[in-house]
């Protein structure tokens, strides 16, 4: 019957990750989403074997900028949020060597010169942390001056990147 919901849509589950937060899932009906990645960086991770994934929406590069805030909201910072993301994924039987990553954000969205270069500093902190990790970075969409929205379909590993002028797809499962 036209207009009737499908079984998949009845059981679909959408999780929205806010600024300075993260979420992981192994629910194949879940879609993880984070919106308005400007100078913030989104780290999207997926293990194709376990079909588990997560998104970290980090806001600042280093927890030493606000140790009290880092204690209550570790996902806000690259140096505390990335270990939090990976430990949560390891709890779902993901392994570093199987993880596929997509990195988005790190833009300079303020009008005029950005003396703090938060986007650049966030990207540098993420790259520095991931340097020694045996996971695979399968794609980037970073820098520039635009906001990005990212969705991860946990069942398939499909990443949808929405930009103000277009939409792109990126597969993390392969």
Catalytic residue set: 40
Check: CB of residue 140 under 8 Å from CB of residue 104. yes
Dig out the tokens for 54 from the structure.
């997560």
CA–CA separation, 78 and 114 (whole Å): 20
What string of H, E and C letters represents the secondary structure of the chain? CCCCCCHHHHHCEEEEECCCEEEEECCCCEEEEEEEECCCEEEEEEECCCCEEEEEEECECCHHHCHHHHHHCHHHEHHHHHHHHHHHHHCCCCCHHHCEEEEEECCCCCCCCCCCCHHHHHHHHHHHHHCCCCCEEEEEEECCCCCEEEEEECCCCEEEEECCCCEEEEECCC
Check: CB of residue 138 under 8 Å from CB of residue 172. yes
Dig out the tokens for 43 from the structure.
């780290």
């Amino acid at each position: 019957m036209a207009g009737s919901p499908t079984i998949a849509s009845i059981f679909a589950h959408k999780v929205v990750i806010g600024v300075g937060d993260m979420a992981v899932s192994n629910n194949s009906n879940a879609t993880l989403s984070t919106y308005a990645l400007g100078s913030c960086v989104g780290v999207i991770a997926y293990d194709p074997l376990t079909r588990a994934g997560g998104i970290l929406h980090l806001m600042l590069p280093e927890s030493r900028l606000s140790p009290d805030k880092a204690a209550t909201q570790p996902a806000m910072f690259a140096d505390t949020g990335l270990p939090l993301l990976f430990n949560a994924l390891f709890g779902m039987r993901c392994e570093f060597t199987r993880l596929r990553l997509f990195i988005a954000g790190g833009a300079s969205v303020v009008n005029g010169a950005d003396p703090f270069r938060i986007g650049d500093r966030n990207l540098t902190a993420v790259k520095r942390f991931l340097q020694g990790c045996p996971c695979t970075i399968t794609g980037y969409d970073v820098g520039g001056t635009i906001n990005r929205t990212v969705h991860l379909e946990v069942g398939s590993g499909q990443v949808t990147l929405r930009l103000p002028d277009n939409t792109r797809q990126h597969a993390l499962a392969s």
